[in-house]
Chains A and B, each alone.
Chain A
């Protein structure tokens, strides 16, 4: 093979790919490996990293009560907002697909998920404000359900529920566009064939035709909502503050931020990052198995 031919075959595409590949290697691949390595060390940025085995992980799970609170909060949060956001956005996409004024409904439903978490926390705090100026306190006081304003964002009992409500509101739109587009892409012939095969109503259609044809979109949406719901941080911080009362709004990412960028204990913070990575990655793999469609057309 001449040089020119080789260049055409490998050189040109590599030239196209290299800007992405170089940046991706420096800022994604190396960091992931580096995180894993650092997680087995003591490292405070000033001195060289010192190997310490699994000490960081041992401390995390046996001595660091705040981490266990953060883990618990994140899991509660993820297992509520993830599924609610996911199913709500699929269900709404399924309905909107059958409606007139589709673009209007799509915009109304999608808009919250493209707003800034910080900005919307400000807005939601008007609703959940802890004094009688807050809309919800005001409403409850007027109806007479409560006699004193509820301290929504300072009482440890209500902090997590408020964060969950705001996040559900913001996350419903995440998978929504993918689902809506996927629904529009299902060939009409499939439904006609289904009718011939004896499918009677819309729910049978949904289960036997719509869902199986949408596996790739369902998978994409699932991975998105896993990553988003485990990465909760900015909403929690702006609603409950950091540290929040009794750590009621403390999450894994908040803990990571605390150790990495306030205490500069990079080894320990890396161990937190690795745990976060293992959780989202293994959940992602499970969904890859469930929603795989490689064997199909």
Chain B
């Protein structure tokens, strides 16, 4: 990293810039801070008037209520956490493997129609996933996968964005490494597994973050593919807990659920942040 390439000595102007940025950070982080603080508020603080921003006497009661006392339905909240974790992690793992292999083939081999395939992938970046949802629904239901975990996994493995990201990065790996390994008699699969994957570590770490975020937060797919209460994922449950606009009942449980839905993506990003920054440099499109 070329740190410091453009940093200037501290002066009055920079103080102003830092203050402005501080204000902006306040705008972006205030709702998140409020969300965290509210999750730990005891009952009386939730309904305080005038409303108070920060929690005074933090408690875990909201989480307790969410995880145990939500017995009006027969399905415990932990089941929904499990559903989200399972489908997200399986999708992420499969998309990382499938996209990396595909990207390796596109970047390092001459494939008939390779360029055409890549151009189609770039074109596919340009339409929102909702466009394909109707045929996907028909296909998934013909395959008999409605109301199964597979409906939340299989359609989301081959994503244009993911293979694009991997291809841009793998392309930067010099061919000399591959040639040297070939002379030593390594098979193509070994080259992929022992050379490409270790060298593209920061790229697939980034893919893990993005794919985790988009699958964990996905609301549309479970909404159309899943009717069975026991298979629903967190975003759906959170929305029915919050009960649409104007609902104040269950406030404590909703605050705790919001916290549980939000934190995993932020933690995953925090763990991978430095690798993500390294990869994103290769993500441009030379249209």
Contact with A along B203-228 (1 / 0, CB 8 A): 00000010001001101100110000
Closest to A108 in B: B25
Verify B109–A133 contact, CB threshold 8 A. Answer: no
Q: For B217, what are the chain A residues with a Cβ–Cβ distance below 8 Å?
A: 114-118
Q: Which of A19, A27, A223 contacts B126 (CB 8 A)?
A: A223
Among listed A31-39, A61-69, A79-87, interface-contacting one: A31-39
Q: For B5, what are the chain A residues with a Cβ–Cβ distance below 8 Å?
A: 188, 191
Q: For B51, what are the chain A residues with a Cβ–Cβ distance below 8 Å?
A: 126, 133-135, 138
Q: For A27, what are the chain B residues with a Cβ–Cβ distance below 8 Å?
A: 132, 136, 139, 154-155, 158
B124 contacts chain A at the CB level, 8 A cutoff:
yes
Verify A114–B284 contact, CB threshold 8 A. Answer: no
Closest to A230 in B: B128
B244 contacts chain A at the CB level, 8 A cutoff:
yes
A12 and B139 contact, Cβ closer than 8 Å, known pairs A31-B132, A230-B128, A266-B134? no
A60 contacts chain B at the CB level, 8 A cutoff:
no
Q: State how many angstroms separate the Cβ of A285 from the closest Cβ of chain B.
A: 8
Closest to A16 in B: B105
Q: For B31, what are the chain A residues with a Cβ–Cβ distance below 8 Å?
A: 112, 120, 123-124, 127, 169
B102 contacts chain A at the CB level, 8 A cutoff:
yes
Q: Which of A14, A28, A92, A112 contacts B111 (CB 8 A)?
A: A14
Decide if the interface of chain B is mainly helix, strand, loop or mixed. Answer: helix
Contact with B along A188-232 (1 / 0, CB 8 A): 100100000000000000000000001111111001001110110
Closest to A159 in B: B245
Q: For A253, what are the chain B residues with a Cβ–Cβ distance below 8 Å?
A: 128, 130
Q: For A257, what are the chain B residues with a Cβ–Cβ distance below 8 Å?
A: 220, 223-224
Contact with B along A165-196 (1 / 0, CB 8 A): 00001001100011011101100100100000
Closest to A216 in B: B284
Closest to B260 in A: A119
Q: State how many angstroms separate the Cβ of A38 from the closest Cβ of chain B.
A: 7
B77 contacts chain A at the CB level, 8 A cutoff:
no
A73 contacts chain B at the CB level, 8 A cutoff:
no
Q: How far is the CA of A24 from the CA of B224 in the complex (A)?
A: 20
Number of A-B contacts (CB under 8 A): 323
A142 contacts chain B at the CB level, 8 A cutoff:
yes
Verify A180–B280 contact, CB threshold 8 A. Answer: yes
A246 contacts chain B at the CB level, 8 A cutoff:
no
B28 contacts chain A at the CB level, 8 A cutoff:
yes
Q: For B281, what are the chain A residues with a Cβ–Cβ distance below 8 Å?
A: 181-182, 184-185
A280 and B128 contact, Cβ closer than 8 Å, known pairs A112-B32, A117-B217, A184-B281? yes
Number of interface residues of B (CB under 8 A): 102
Q: Which of A1-27 contact B (CB under 8 A)?
A: 8-10, 12-14, 16-17, 19-24, 26-27
Q: For A219, what are the chain B residues with a Cβ–Cβ distance below 8 Å?
A: 284-285, 287
Q: State how many angstroms separate the Cβ of B55 from the closest Cβ of chain A.
A: 13
A76 contacts chain B at the CB level, 8 A cutoff:
no
Verify A21–B134 contact, CB threshold 8 A. Answer: no
Q: How far is the CA of A117 from the CA of B138 in the complex (A)?
A: 26
Q: State how many angstroms separate the Cβ of B8 from the closest Cβ of chain A.
A: 7
Verify B101–A181 contact, CB threshold 8 A. Answer: no
Verify A217–B283 contact, CB threshold 8 A. Answer: yes
Q: How far is the CA of A12 from the CA of B192 in the complex (A)?
A: 11
Verify A154–B135 contact, CB threshold 8 A. Answer: no
Verify A114–B269 contact, CB threshold 8 A. Answer: yes
Closest to B129 in A: A231
Q: For A56, what are the chain B residues with a Cβ–Cβ distance below 8 Å?
A: none
Closest to A11 in B: B188
Verify A227–B127 contact, CB threshold 8 A. Answer: yes
Verify B280–A181 contact, CB threshold 8 A. Answer: yes
Verify A12–B132 contact, CB threshold 8 A. Answer: no
Q: Which of A17, A30, A32, A223 contacts B131 (CB 8 A)?
A: A32
Q: Which of A117, A125, A184, A256 contacts B245 (CB 8 A)?
A: A125
Q: For B110, what are the chain A residues with a Cβ–Cβ distance below 8 Å?
A: 9, 13
Q: How far is the CA of A25 from the CA of B265 in the complex (A)?
A: 29
Verify A281–B123 contact, CB threshold 8 A. Answer: yes
A98 contacts chain B at the CB level, 8 A cutoff:
yes
Closest to B268 in A: A114
- Known A-B contacts: A32-B127, A123-B38. Give 6 more (CB < 8 A): A27-B132, A126-B51, A130-B245, A133-B49, A276-B131, A293-B287
A selection of 6 A-B contacts at a CB cut-off of 8 Å is: A28-B160, A45-B138, A227-B125, A239-B245, A266-B138, A277-B128
* Chain B residues proximal to chain A, CB less than 8 Å: 1-2, 5-8, 17-18, 21, 24-25, 27-29, 31-32, 34-35, 38, 47, 49-51, 53, 98-99, 101-102, 104-106, 108-112, 117, 120-121, 123-139, 154-155, 157-158, 160, 163, 188, 192, 209, 213, 216-217, 219-220, 223-224, 234-235, 238-239, 242, 244-246, 248, 254, 258, 261-262, 265-266, 269-270, 273-274, 276-281, 283-287
